[in-house]
Structure 1
Amino acid sequence: MSEQFPHAVPHALPRAFSRRGLLRAAAALPLSALALTELPGLLGSAEAAAPATGYADRYTIVAFTNSSDYTVNVYQAEDATSFTLLQASAYTPPSNRIRDASVFKHTNGYYYLTYTTHTWEDTSTTIGFARSTDRVNWTFLYDYTVPITNLSRAWAPEWFVDSSGSVNVIVSCSTTDDEWIFTPYVLTATNTALTAWTAPTALSGIGSNHIDTFIVKIGSTYHAFTKNETTKYIEYATASSLTGTWTIQKTGDWAGWGSYREGPSLVQLDNGGWRLFFDGYGDGTYLFSDSYDTFATWTTPTVLPGISGTARHFTAVKETVSGGASLTTGITRSFQSANYPTRYWSEATGAVNLSVIASASTTAAKTAATFTVVAGLADSNGYSFRDSAGNYLRHYNYVGRFDANDGTTAFAKDATFVARTSPTSGAVRLESYNYPGYYLRHYNYVLRLDLDANTTLFRADSSFAAVSPWG
Structure 2
Amino acid sequence: MPRLLTRLAAIFFAVGLFFTSQSLAAPQRAAAADPGYLMLHFTGEGSTGQQMYLSHSADGLHWNDLNDGAPILRSNIGTKGVRDPALVRSPAGDKYWIIATDLCWGCGSTVDGSINNGSRSIVVWESTDLVNWSQPWLLNVAGAIPDGRNAWAPEAIWNPATNDYVLYWATNVPLDGKTKHRIFYARTSDFRTITTPQTYIDRPGTQELIDTQIVEVPAGVGNYRYVRASGDGQITIEGSNSILGTWTNLGNLSGIGLTGAQVEGPMWMKFRDRNEWTLYLDQYASRGGYMPVTTANPSAVGTYQLPASGSFNLGVNKKRHGSILNLTAAEESRVLARWPSTPAKRLQSYNFQDRYVRHANYDVRIDQNVSTSPDSQFRIRPGLAGSGTVSFESVNFPGYFLRHANYDFQLVRNDGTAQFAADATFNQVAGLADATWSSFQSYNHPDRYIRHYAYQLRLDPTTTATARGDATFRVTN
TM-score bracket, shorter-length normalisation: 0.5 to 0.7
CA 1:281–1:246: 2 relative to 1, 3 Å: same
Does the aligned pair in 2 maintain the 1:202–1:243 contact within 8 Å? Answer: no
Query: 1:87-107, CA deviations, whole angstroms, 9 ceiling, x for partnerless residues?
Result: 221111113210001112223
Aligned: 1:138 with 2:133: yes
Q: CA deviation at 1:129?
A: 0.7
For residue 20 of structure 1, give the secondary structure of its aligned residue in structure 2: coil
1:260 is matched with 262
Query: What is the one-letter code of the residue matched to 1:21?
Result: L
Does the aligned pair in 1 maintain the 2:94–2:129 contact within 8 Å? Answer: no
Aligned: 1:104 with 2:106: no
1:22 is matched with 5
2:306 is matched with 300
Q: CA deviation at 1:320?
A: 2.4
Structure-2-length-normalised TM-score:
0.53
Does the aligned pair in 2 maintain the 1:56–1:323 contact within 8 Å? Answer: no
Does the aligned pair in 2 maintain the 1:58–1:76 contact within 8 Å? Answer: yes
2:395 is matched with none
Does the aligned pair in 2 maintain the 1:203–1:246 contact within 8 Å? Answer: no
Count of paired positions: 279
Does the aligned pair in 1 maintain the 2:240–2:247 contact within 8 Å? Answer: yes
Residue among 203, 207, 224 paired with 2:200: 203
CA 1:176–1:267: 2 relative to 1, 3 Å: same
2:342 is matched with none
Q: CA deviation at 1:256?
A: 3.6
Q: CA RMSD in A?
A: 3.0
Q: CA deviation at 1:23?
A: 5.8
Query: What is the one-letter code of the residue matched to 2:83?
Result: R
Does the aligned pair in 2 maintain the 1:256–1:300 contact within 8 Å? Answer: no
Does the aligned pair in 1 maintain the 2:227–2:298 contact within 8 Å? Answer: no
Alignment map for 1:26-425 (pairs within 5 Å): 55-66=33-44, 68=46, 69-87=49-67, 88-95=70-77, 96=79, 97-106=81-90, 107=92, 109-118=94-103, 119=105, 120-121=111-112, 122=114, 123-146=118-141, 147-164=144-161, 165-177=163-175, 180-189=179-188, 191=189, 193-203=190-200, 209-218=208-217, 219=219, 221-228=225-232, 231=233, 233-251=234-252, 253-258=254-259, 259-269=261-271, 270-285=273-288, 286-296=290-300, 297-301=303-307, 304-307=312-315, 310-322=318-330
Q: Which has the higher helix share?
A: 2
CA 1:251–1:56: 2 relative to 1, 3 Å: closer
Does the aligned pair in 2 maintain the 1:102–1:159 contact within 8 Å? Answer: yes
CA 1:22–1:141: 2 relative to 1, 3 Å: same
Query: 1:257-303, CA deviations, whole angstroms, 9 ceiling, x for partnerless residues?
Result: 34421110212112011111111101112111110134421111467
Q: Which has the higher strand share?
A: 1
CA 1:248–1:101: 2 relative to 1, 3 Å: same
For residue 327 of structure 2, give the secondary structure of its aligned residue in structure 1: strand
Q: CA deviation at 1:136?
A: 4.2
Q: Distance in 1 between matches of 2:53 and 2:317?
A: 14
For residue 51 of structure 2, give the secondary structure of its aligned residue in structure 1: strand
Gaps of 5+ in 2: 10-28, 106-110, 333-477
CA 1:98–1:179: 2 relative to 1, 3 Å: farther
Does the aligned pair in 1 maintain the 2:129–2:331 contact within 8 Å? Answer: no
Whose relative contact order is higher, 1 or 2, with alpha carbons under 8 Å and at least 6 apart?
Answer: 1
Gaps of 5+ in 1: 1-17, 27-49, 325-471
Query: 1:12-58, CA deviations, whole angstroms, 9 ceiling, x for partnerless residues?
Result: xxxxxx732326669xxxxxxxxxxxxxxxxxxxxxxx9888x4222
For residue 34 of structure 2, give the secondary structure of its aligned residue in structure 1: strand
Query: What is the one-letter code of the residue matched to 2:282?
Result: D
Query: What is the one-letter code of the residue matched to 2:199?
Result: A
Does the aligned pair in 1 maintain the 2:238–2:299 contact within 8 Å? Answer: no
CA 1:166–1:25: 2 relative to 1, 3 Å: same
Q: Distance in 2 between matches of 1:72 and 1:317?
A: 15
Query: What is the one-letter code of the residue matched to 1:93?
Result: S
CA 1:205–1:242: 2 relative to 1, 3 Å: farther
Q: CA deviation at 1:116?
A: 0.6
CA 1:235–1:82: 2 relative to 1, 3 Å: same
1:353 is matched with none
Does the aligned pair in 2 maintain the 1:257–1:300 contact within 8 Å? Answer: no
Query: 1:170-203, CA deviations, whole angstroms, 9 ceiling, x for partnerless residues?
Result: 21111255563111122211x3x33221222222
Q: Distance in 2 between matches of 1:234 and 1:254?
A: 11
2:397 is matched with none
Q: Distance in 2 between matches of 1:194 and 1:206?
A: 27
Query: What is the one-letter code of the residue matched to 2:215?
Result: V
Q: CA deviation at 1:308?
A: 7.3
2:424 is matched with none
2:365 is matched with none
1:331 is matched with none
Query: 1:139-162, CA deviations, whole angstroms, 9 ceiling, x for partnerless residues?
Result: 234211122111112111112123
Q: Distance in 1 between matches of 2:129 and 2:225?
A: 33
Q: Distance in 2 between matches of 1:154 and 1:21?
A: 14
Q: Distance in 2 between matches of 1:295 and 1:66?
A: 31
Query: What is the one-letter code of the residue matched to 1:153?
Result: N
Q: Distance in 1 between matches of 2:74 and 2:239?
A: 36
